[in-house]
Amino acid sequence: MEELIKNLGLIINATLIATPPLLYAALGSTFSERSGVINIGIEGIMTIGAFVGAAVAHFTGNAWLAFLCGGLVGALFGLIHAIACVSFGADQTISGTAINFLAPGVAIFVCKALFEQSSNTPPLDTAQKLPKLFNGIFEVGSFWNNVLNTYVATYLAFVAVAVVWFIFYKTRFGMRLRAVGEHPKACETQGINVFRIRYIAVIASGFFAGLGGAYVTLCTVSQFRPEVIVGQGFIAIAAVIFGKFTPHGAMGACLLFGLCNGLKVLLGSGNVISPNLISMIPYVVTIITLVLFVGKSRVPAASGKPYLKQK
Amino acid sequence: MKQKINHNSETSQNILKIKVQGLIYQNALYTIIAIFFGFLVGGIFLWSAGFSPLEAYAKLFSSVFSRPKYLIWSVIYATPLVFTGLSVAFSYKMGVFNIGAEGQFVVGSLAALCVGILVDAPPVLHVLLCMLAAIAAGMVWSFLVAVLRVRFGINEVLSFIMFNWIAFYLSNYVINTKTIHKVGGGEASKDIRESARILLPQSLQNIFQSNKANYGILLAIIAAVAIWFILTKTTFGYRVQAVGLNPHAAKYGGINSDKTMYIAMSLSGALAALGGAVQLMGNSMRISQFAGQEGFGFQGITVALIASSHPIGCIFSGLFYGAMKYGGSKLNLIDAPTEVVDIIMGTIVLFIAISHVFRYLITRRLKNKEEK
Amino acid sequence: MKKTSHFDPNTVAVQMTDIVKKFGNFVANDHINLTVYKGEVHAILGENGAGKSTLMNILYGLYKPTSGSISIFGSPVHIENPGHAIELGIGMVHQHFMLVEPFTVTENIILGMEPTKAMVVDIKKARRKVKELSERYGMHVDPDAKIEDISVGMQQRVEILKVLYRGANILILDEPTASLTPQEIEELINIIRNLTADGKTVLLITHKLKEIKASADRCTIIRQGKYINTVDVEAVSEHDLASMMVGRDVQFVVDKKPIEPGEVIIDIQDLHAKDYRGVEVLKGLNLKVRRGEIVGLAGVDGNGQTELVEILTGLRKGESGKVIIGGKDLFNADAHTLFDNGVSSIPADRQKHGLVLEYSVAYNLVLQNYDKPPFSKHGILKKDDIYKHAEELVGKFDIRGAEGGTKEAGKLSGGNQQKVIIAREVTNDKDLLIAVNPTRGLDVGAIEFVHRYIVEQRNKNKAVLLVSFELDEIMSLSDRIEVIYNGNIVGSVPGYKANEKVLGLMMAGGTKNETED
């Protein structure tokens, strides 16, 4: 029985570490998607967010500053995507793909420039990483320590879900955002500035994706390597669709995927099943859940279509 | 008995006018503008990192053009990209964004590997079998996504990405199995047998000064011409483009868009998979354990975009990208990061994505000139 | 009977002077003058493409005039954008509703001007205001219903409430009666009367002569971008208005030679079907169409005719029933099979279903036949034959702007696009022609053309099923009129006996017997 609880604690711990990067990215993505702009570039943005987080933490020793900077860089790339898609009406999938080349490219380029041709940043020690909550309060290895003694940024992620939910469903901005994703022309004729709302939404998606990436290097891995994101951005997109484009839905989906990633970490150390097969689990689970559950997921009606103003 | 159709003179004039206008409004112009901006942005990054852009670009240029051997290498690098480019381009004509070319490439490569190692056959037959295995694998990989889209309404961009990663881990898993894994140490598979390779004969290898000179590029060119023919001259091509341009009208017109989608996506998957097979049989000879995706599929997207999804154009844009990759790989000789190539290519794609704005501005200026 | 009028000839609400609007070299508005008095119902009449929508879009700030001036209640203004127009008290109710489907009636009305308490949207306050407004002008709406669940009539009332909520004093209604039953049109006219009684000014963009006579005080006619005249509606006839609109004498009735209908071409029995939401929309429909007859299917949008046509053209599957064509039951057959068995159609939405806009006119003309000789052989297209075919049809049907068939279909005008479709279907010469809203969005000249060919098919002993929301069209063309209501045929009337009142009643669910005159 004790073993069971202990393992349960370990699983929850692993889940809580794996979920936040997905959750931050997914929350940002819901902003963008609900406003009608698809952003598949969040994979690339998470990569550069991860790099900036690690680099700033290394140079300044201030993890929260590094976390914020990761978000800001993400917002910058979000801005690029917004300019291309909202102002210039570019095909959103192509623009997103361009960012998936550009962002990691810039990240590794700068990394090599700053760190003597290495495409990895130096490892961060605990002081330079993001802090944990309840550190030292519980006994190491106990159930409660595993469950509660996790990063502040993790708790923040779940708080963010509530904040985003409030914004979407209770505020003016949220209502207009959702309307813009359904029928931008209707909004325009009511005097709403469609472009401005989409810009904000897309920049927000970049910001959150950057935070998600920075979380990985500032909490989980402690170092930037080119493959540190490895598909998490795309899983976040799957989570958004699976969660029917709502913040609470995205949270549920990210927890599920986080659980899979968490299991990967736990089972992989056993050497019973090949780590490669285990790595496939999240992706296979995604497809199965999409087949079984999504079906009639209601995509925002204006999703993917550039809004062209007539003069 | 064929009769020469006499168009009235007005129609002939119009057809000619359209061809000429086509050249002007052709995407070639914006593509060049986009490429220019790509190099510009890359140059800015180089300069801010303390490198002379001119020096770096000169090195890039000379790494490709200064010796015939380098040109051959550029072609070798280009070959798989032409295939993945064709795959994405053909798919795009049907309105599907084949971001799954990456996974299709991998399974094609994997299938060819298995047949190349496990099967014993005379040279020409062996090559054929490997390619068939690759084609089958690519078709299945793509067909499954088509099913998910048609039957379950699941967005194919998402499915493709999931399948890309499944293929990636599948590849790593398979090459670690006892039968496939390299004997002794090393994180790779065995090499494929000699009979499965598509290298040029030793005499030509000596002339080209490259031990990886292969006839893959010929296969790529044949594929490109075949795809062009299919798209422009056949009833299947009519269907594919109709479905891509207006699926509602296609359905109304009696076109079975589901069936068309299945066939076209499978064909698209086969092309990318062939790229994987050709890369294996002509260049790498084995598959290694990868830490991250190689990117041939994503690079194919760039190839297709630069070629405006024109099959023949893919040959040229594939060569361009191949040269960039090869030349870029030599940049670290002057300590410049090879990632500048990614930055250049990413910028090019971004500018192509917004190119229709420029097209609008240029055609408007040309139209005003016409009216004067 | 003189209608009640509330206009105040001493106060000019809207003055548009010498308005010119160019799009490139195309002159949409050519020095147009418009004077509208407070409390007036002023109709703007013109054919499609005449420039009336452009003029109103300028008034609403969606476009900026190339030159000319506007003043509202005596003050000169430059209307920058719709937001600005709203501030000036101008509100526009669009022809194609601008409603967010998953939102409620209230949410749609307040969008862009949401009342807030702290940071939260105050829905309670909004509902109160909506109720108050709807009661004041006699417009029934359900504040909490979602747009996707309510009727077209209620949707329109929501659109009107949107502008009233913003305090509009000048309302522009763009083709407001497009999808309404005759009863709903009367309700609308009442609402307009209530608005003007309250001092509001109403501008009505329309090409429906009956509605102008029934509701407007004065009417301005625009033709090809130019101002023609402003008339007192009481003083002119519908015929006068039509002539001013097209510039020539217009023929209202189509000549049809009497024909004895022949064998039954299509026999629909007990057809059941569901709509896209899974709600049953066809409830055992029975319908027959014979050779040499035009059967007009009259009904308000949403009673099943869309789904019926989709089933007959292979775009939708029904639940049960029989569709017997040429002796074969082709229930749920696909588009290709139906076409091969003699069913062709002019689709309701020409740009969505009828044409591939990026394809050339020539390629579009072979949309169903590209894979048959002479247009292809062994899977290879024969382009010479395709273009020759196109040249012939372009000449015969006078398709303008097609450049011998080489031009992209998307670059043709609406009327010419419809001509491409008609050319194609007439040439396909199938036994059954289904024409759905074939003259939607077309001007009088193009309408004449379309009607002519429909009648010609019938004269050639083909069967024609005409589905249209324009009762006039149904009444002038049909040999027999079937009325569809709530998924069934509720009445059948011979063409010559057709009476708008009776039909209107049947379309709204009443029965013939109730209107025994």
What chain B holds in terms of domains, given with CATH numbers, is 68-318 (1.10.3470)
Confidence of residue C330 (pLDDT cuts 50, 70, 90): very high
What value does the mean pLDDT take over residues C249-271?
78
Asked if residue C229 is part of any domain, the answer here is: yes
Residues in chain C closer than 8 A to B249 (CB atoms): 352-356, 367
Task: List the subunits that have 3+ CB pairs under 8 angstroms with B.
Answer: A, C
* DSSP state for residue C403 in the 8-state scheme: G
Q: Supply the pLDDT for residue A33.
A: 92
Average of per-residue pLDDT across B210-235: 92
Q: Do C267 and C292 have their domain in common?
A: yes
Helices C152-165 and C123-136: crossing angle in degrees, nearest 10, is 110
What is the Cα–Cα distance from B218 to B204, expressed in whole angstroms? 15
pLDDT reported for residue C178: 64
Q: Which of C100, C121, C162, C171 to mutate to test the interface with A (most CBs of A within 10 A)?
A: C100
Cβ pair C353:B248 closer than 8 A = yes
Secondary structure, 3-state, chain A? CHHHHHHHHHHHHHHHHHHHHHHHHHHHHHHHHHCCCCCCCHHHHHHHHHHHHHHHHHHHCCHHHHHHHHHHHHHHHHHHHHHHHHHCCCCHHHHHHHHHHHHHHHHHHHHHHHCCCCCCCCCCCHHHCCCECCCCCCCCCCHHHHHHCCEHHHHHHHHHHHHHHHHHHHEHHHHHHHHHHHCHHHHHHCCCCHHHHHHHHHHHHHHHHHHHHHHHHHHHCCCCCCCCCCCHHHHHHHHHHHCCCCHHHHHHHHHHHHHHHHHHHHHHCCCCCCHHHHHHHHHHHHHHHHHHHHCCCCCCCCCCCCCCCCC
Phi, psi of A227 (to 5 degrees): -95, 25
> What gap in Å lies between CA B331 and CA B335, rounded to an integer?
7
Residues C331, C458 within the same domain: yes
Question: How far is the alpha carbon of B237 from chain C, nearest alpha carbon, in Å?
Answer: 9
- Region C155-181: what's the mean pLDDT? 86
Give yes or no: residues C445 and C392 share one domain.
no
Q: Is the pLDDT of residue B165 over 60?
A: yes
Give the DSSP H/E element, type plus range, for residue B31: helix B27-48
Which residues in chain B have their CB less than 8 angstroms from residue A102's CB? 342-343, 346-347, 350
C-alpha span between A22 and A32 (Å, rounded): 15
Interchain CB distance below 8 Å, A175 and C107: yes
pLDDT for B11 equals: 55
Sort out which chain C residues have CB atoms less than 8 A from B7's CB and list them: 387-388, 391, 404
**CB distance B245–C381 less than 8 Å?**
no
Task: Give the CB-side neighbour count of residue A310, counting CA atoms within 13 A.
Answer: 10
B162 near A CB under 8 A: yes
**Confidence label for B2 from pLDDT (cuts 50, 70 and 90):** very low
Q: Band of the pLDDT at C309, cuts 50, 70, 90?
A: very high
- End position of a domain, from candidates C402, C429, C456: C429
> End of a domain among C215, C246, C277?
C246
With CB atoms and an 8 Å threshold, state whether B354 touches A89: yes
How many contiguous H segments (helices) and E segments (strands) does chain B have?
Answer: 16, 0
Q: Which amino acid is at A233?
A: G
Above 90 in pLDDT, residue C45?
no
For the segment C147-153, the average pLDDT, to the nearest whole number, is 83
Do C179 and C192 lie in a common domain?
yes
The answer to whether residues C124 and C221 belong to one domain is yes
Q: Quick check: is C73 in a domain?
A: yes
Do C229 and C206 fall within a single domain? Answer: yes
Of residues B367 and C458, the one with the higher pLDDT is C458
pLDDT average, residue stretch C146-150: 87
Q: Residue A295's closest chain B neighbor by CA?
A: B152
What is the complex's ipTM, to 2 decimals?
Answer: 0.83
Rounded to two decimals, the pTM is: 0.81
* Bigger pLDDT: B282 vs C510: B282
Q: Which long-range contacts (CB under 8 A, 24 or more apart) does C423-427 make?
A: C423/C365, C423/C393, C423/C394, C423/C396, C423/C397, C423/C399, C424/C364, C424/C365, C424/C367, C424/C368, C424/C393, C425/C344, C425/C345, C425/C346, C426/C397, C426/C453, C426/C456, C426/C457, C427/C365, C427/C393
Q: Are residues C222 and C365 part of one domain?
A: no
Provide CB contacts within 8 A for C301, sequence distance 6+.
C152, C179, C469
Q: For C54, which residue in chain A has the nearest alpha carbon?
A: A311
Contact B165 A84 (CB under 8 A): no
Q: Are residues C284 and C393 located together in one domain of the fold?
A: no
- Report the pLDDT averaged over residues B59-88: 91
pLDDT for the residue numbered A295? 56
Report the pLDDT value the prediction gives residue C291, as an integer from 0 to 100.
92
Residue partners of A84: CB distance under 8 A and separation at least 6: A90, A95, A98, B350, B353, B354
User: What's the residue count for chain B?
Assistant: 372
Work out the mean pLDDT of chain C and round it to a whole number. 86
Does C3 fall in a domain?
A: no
Which CATH number characterizes residue C334's domain?
3.40.50.300
Q: Which amino acid is at C107?
A: E
d(CA A166, CA C210): 51
The mean predicted confidence, pLDDT, of chain B is: 86
Say if C142 falls within a structural domain. yes
Q: How confident is the model at residue B19 (pLDDT cuts 50, 70, 90)?
A: low
Q: Taking residues C399-425, what's their average pLDDT?
A: 86
CB contact A46 to C (< 8 Å):
no
Q: What is the mean pLDDT of residues C483-501?
A: 84
Which residues, 6+ apart, have CB-to-CB distance to B168 below 8 Å?
Answer: B103, B106, B290, B293
Q: What chains are in contact with C, requiring at least 3 Cβ pairs below 8 Å? A: A, B
Q: Is the dihedral of CA A194, A197, A201, A207 positive or negative?
A: positive
pLDDT over 80 at B228, yes or no:
yes
B chain contacts of residue A97, beta-carbon cutoff 8 Å: 99, 298, 301, 349
Last residue of a domain, one of C429, C450, C468: C429
Query: pLDDT at position C253, please?
Result: 60
Question: Which candidate, C348, C340, C341, C317, places its Cα nearest to that of C266?
Answer: C341
pLDDT of B5 strictly over 60: no
Residues C364 and C447 in one domain: no
Q: What is the DSSP letter of C217?
A: S
The three-class DSSP label of residue C112 is coil
Chain B / chain C CB contacts < 8 angstroms: 90
Q: For the segment C11-37, what is each residue's pLDDT rounded down to a tens digit?
A: 898 999 999 998 877 788 999 999 999
Record: contact A191-C86, CB cut-off 8 A:
yes
Q: Which residues of C touch A186 (CB under 8 A)?
A: 98-100, 108, 111
Q: b or e along C456-466 (b: 16 or more beta carbons within 10 Å of the residue's beta carbon)?
A: ebbeebbbbbb
Q: Which two tokens stand for residue B134?
A: 């690759």
Name the residue among C98, C112, C114 with its Cβ closest to that of A183. C98
- C43 and C76, same structural domain? yes
Q: Give the range of the structural domain holding residue C23, as residue numbers without chain letter.
A: 8-246
Residue linked to tokens 């202990």: A6
Place of tokens 């807030």: C116
pLDDT at A310: 45
Give kind and range of the element (H or E) at residue C473.
helix C471-477
* Both tokens assigned to C41: 């119902």
Give the residue from B7, B11, B252 with the most C CB atoms within 10 Å of its CB, the best one to mutate.
B252
Q: Do A279 and B169 count as a contact with CB atoms less than 8 A apart?
A: yes
The SS3 assignment for B191 reads coil
Cα B254 to Cα A280, B155, C343, C349, C408: the distances in Å are 40, 24, 11, 16, 21
How far apart (Å, rounded) are the C-alpha atoms in residues B367 and B363?
6
C1: in domain = no
- Residue B161: C-alpha distances to residues B101, B298, B302 (Å): 9, 11, 17
How many domains would you assign to chain C? 3
Q: pLDDT band for position B243 (50/70/90)?
A: very high
What is the bridge-based pairing of β-strands C201-206 and C170-174? parallel
* C26 & C114 share domain: yes
Residues C83-136 have pLDDT tens digits of 889 889 999 898 778 899 899 999 999 998 888 888 888 889 999 999 999 898
Could you give the CA distance from residue B298 to residue B277 in angstroms, rounded to a whole number?
Answer: 17
Q: Where are the alpha helices (DSSP H) in C313-443?
A: 335-340, 361-365, 383-396, 414-428
Chain B residue numbers touching A287 (CB-CB < 8 A): 148, 154, 159, 162
Question: A302 versus B330: which is more confidently predicted?
Answer: B330
Distance, in Å, from the CA atom of A38 to the CA atom of A16, rounded to the nearest integer, reads: 27
Q: How confident is the model at residue C241 (pLDDT cuts 50, 70, 90)?
A: confident
C381 chain-B contacts, CB cut-off 8 A: 233-235, 237-238
The residues near A28 (Cβ < 8 Å, ≥ 6 apart) are: A42, A74, A204, A205, A206, A207, A208, A209, A211, A212
Higher pLDDT, B28 or B350: B350
Rounded Cα–Cα distance for residues C479 and C297 (Å): 11
Closest alpha carbon within chain B to A286: B162
pLDDT of C360-384, one tens digit each? 999 999 999 998 888 999 889 998 9
Nearest CA in chain C to A194: C112
Counting residues of chain B whose pLDDT is more than 90, the rounded percentage is: 46
Amino acid at B239: R
Query: Are residues C378 and C495 both part of a single domain?
Result: no
Within chain A, which residues score under 70 in pLDDT? 136, 268-272, 294-298, 308-311
